Amino acid sequence: MMVGSVVAVSHVQHPSEPSPFPNIGRTYSRERRVRLGDVTPKGRLRLDAVARYLQDIATDDALDGKYDDPHGWVVRRTEMWVHHFPKYLDDLKLTTWCGGVGSHWAERRTRIEIVGGGEPVAIEAAALWVRVDLQTLKPLQLSERFRELIGVSAAGRKVSARLLVGRDVPDSAEADAHFSQPLRFTDFDAVGHLNNAVYWEPLEEYLALHRHRRAPLHATVEHHRSVEPGAKLTVAVHELGTRTVLHVCDGDETASYVQVVTE
């Protein structure tokens, strides 16, 4: 699955909490079990594994629904509202639908529930995907067929592809901490870009050192540019009260901003 590149978009404010589950319109569900490679040493489902789950159900839904160019999308922003973390061997039900549209992009909502857990929804997510030409990576308008297919569940809701997390973050030189993010051959996907899930790994590194920062939490990754093999990533940590922002740089250029907010 391809990762976000810089895309020119218009400005419509996006919400700070997930839109409601649709009562009508297309939804798509799959079940999966939390496996050993998805969890921390304490058995908590990791956020990078959740991001991988989101990629997988997005692909499955696009293929099942016969969407236009099912692989011709790049992720711009992903948000996760973690109410409580699933654990090792939990059986999960993932349900996805379209939560809103723009001119060249659509927002995919996904709800993750623990099967038989007796708890409310564990995790809700919103991923903003931009439709692109696979040859040029330039944005393409959403087709009328796509809008008709997902329009009922989207309920006419408009969403923004504007990047917001890094707007009021201090310079990296003023960061509270710094660390490097080594990249491996296995971090790159079939099109040679850093996989979406890997962008969540710096946050897991941070959470490992700050065990008091746990659910409920709201985490966001915003992509500024694609990361290619050979990149050297550094992470600047900005502690801003209940909000922590990780500024991920590839050399002198911003690769992504990662934000976590806890109560």
Mean pLDDT computed over 17-29: 87
pTM attached to this predicted model: 0.91
Percentage of the chain beyond pLDDT 70 is: 94
Looking at residue 5, what is its pLDDT?
A: 38
Looking at residue 16, what is its pLDDT?
A: 60
Mean pLDDT computed over 32-46: 98
pLDDT confidence bin for 191, thresholds 50/70/90: confident
Model confidence at 8: pLDDT above 90: no
DSSP secondary structure, 63-86, as one string: HHTT-SSTT-EEEEEEEEEESS--
Burial status of residue 107 (CB atoms within 10 A of its CB: 0-12, 13-18, 19 or more): buried
Domains of the chain as residue ranges with CATH: 28-154 (3.10.129.10), 165-262 (3.10.129.10)
Burial status of residue 184 (CB atoms within 10 A of its CB: 0-12, 13-18, 19 or more): exposed
Structure confidence by residue, pLDDT tens digits, 195-246: 999 999 999 999 999 999 999 999 999 999 999 999 999 999 999 999 999 9
Looking at residue 17, what is its pLDDT?
A: 74
